[in-house]
């Protein structure tokens, strides 16, 4: 019985990345615009306001107008989750 031949290209399927595509901006080159001044900034100033594992979501203005607080929005979303039967499924972090 003759040996089976591979169909199509027999070269490896994984492509090697060229050096130009993987190169990042030079660390000594300043890419920040002059009008941005963060010299008085404080790293993590508002981080403590959000509990660990929380996700910040921006609501459209018309949707945000319906809910007076984050608690009201969460209650409505939890009700929707219960009614849709999706309650047991969790998103992986």
Residues 20 and 12: their CA atoms lie apart, in Å, by: 21
State residue 17's pLDDT score. Answer: 64
pTM summary value: 0.43
In eight-state DSSP terms, residue 79 is: H
Residues 67 and 71: their CA atoms lie apart, in Å, by: 8
Hey, where are the domains in the chain?
A: 53-85
Q: Flag residues of the chain having pLDDT under 70.
A: 1-27, 88-93
Length of the chain: 93
Secondary structure class of 41 (helix, strand, coil): coil
Give 38-48 pLDDT, tens digit per residue: 888 998 888 88
For residue 28, give both structure tokens: 């000594």
State residue 19's pLDDT score. Answer: 57
């Amino acid at each position: 019985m003759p040996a089976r031949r591979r169909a199509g290209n027999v070269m490896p399927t994984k492509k090697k990345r060229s050096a130009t595509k993987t190169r990042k901006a030079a660390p000594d080159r300043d890419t920040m615009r002059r009008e941005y001044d963060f010299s008085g900034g404080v790293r993590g100033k508002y981080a403590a306001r959000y509990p660990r594992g929380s996700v910040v979501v921006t609501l459209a203005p018309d949707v945000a107008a319906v809910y007076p607080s984050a608690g009201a929005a969460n209650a409505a979303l939890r009700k929707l989750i219960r009614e849709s039967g999706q309650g047991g499924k969790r998103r992986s972090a």
